[in-house]
Amino acid sequence: MQGNTQKTYTVEEATRKLEQYCAYQERCHDEVINKLRGMNMIPQAIDVIVGHLLQNNYLNEERFARSFARGKFRIKQWGRVRIVRELKARNISRYNIDFALKEINDSDYLSTFNSLAEKQWEIIREKNIFKKKRKLFDYLIRKGYESHLIYEVAENLSGDGF
């Protein structure tokens, strides 16, 4: 085995590579910085490249947050709580998180939540009604839905109080 043979990049090469990386799909600042660190770029070069990507609109945190919220809701059917948690984990500002949540229409949100809850209720094979409701609750909490909505739907699906 040889020593460290990782490719080194000039600022220009790294910039082109990151332009492609950002053009392929929306990225947040953290993803771009981690990618550059993985390429062994020095902090000054990272600052220059990130500045270039921001100036040329390859990198836009608001656009990333909005796209992330839309996609995770539509494709993975995540709730607002999970979307907010995941955006915070990516160091997205509160302002951009609030903006991103506006991408989710309230009636779509409730209809997705209700159909997800009903589908899961049918899938859960549990005779004990309390255990069944607990499993539904745990599933919907993991998906990132608000507990007051879950209690309400569990009551309606089971035909009694939680």
Q: What is the CA radius of gyration of the chain?
A: 21
Q: List pLDDT tens digits, range 29-64.
A: 999 999 999 999 999 999 999 999 999 999 999 999
CA 7 to chain centre: 31
Q: Rounded to a whole number, what is the distance in angstroms from the first to the last CA of the chain?
A: 62
Q: For position 160, what pLDDT does the model report?
A: 59
Please provide the average confidence, as pLDDT, over all residues in the chain. Answer: 93
Which stretches of the chain score pLDDT less than 50? 1, 3, 161-162
Q: For position 5, what pLDDT does the model report?
A: 59
Burial of 52 (0-12, 13-18, 19+ CB in 10 A): middle
The token duo for 76 is 């993975």
pTM above 0.85, yes or no: yes
**Block residue for tokens 């919220």:** 69
